[in-house]
Amino acid sequence: MTSVKFLADAKGIYGFCVSGHSSVDCDDELGKIVCSAVSSAVYLTANTVTEIIGDKADALVEDGLMDFKVINPSSETYKIMDGLKLHLTELSKEYSNNIKIYGGAKYVKD
């Protein structure tokens, strides 16, 4: 199961922590596909924020983990993060056995 926690301040989402794998086991093809979709989305978000928008971030990436927090996020970054939350929330509706979004409909605040 992949767990997603969004971090937000009064302006919006400025970070996330994605942990775990969406696969049940090594032969779980659907889980591998879902895990790839999640990984692609979070890497696209992190790279867009840091390399395209130019905001600075603290990131920790390990097997089955991406912890990403933006320092002084711009308005563009808040929008990108909203897009990530929407994307992963919709995936979690379709693949509820593979992805869990923590914090429900509200953002998780520090």
Give per-residue pLDDT as tens, 81-109: 999 999 999 999 999 989 999 864 444 54
Rounded to 5 degrees, φ, ψ at 8 are: -140, 155
CATH architecture of residue range(s) 2-102: 2-Layer Sandwich (3.30)
Give, in degrees to the nearest 5, the angle at Cα 37 between 84 and 28. Answer: 140
Task: Determine the average pLDDT of the residues in 22-49.
Answer: 87
User: Which residues neighbour 12 within 8 Å (Cβ) at sequence distance 6 or greater?
Assistant: 73, 78, 81, 82, 107
Answering whether pTM is above 0.95, one says no
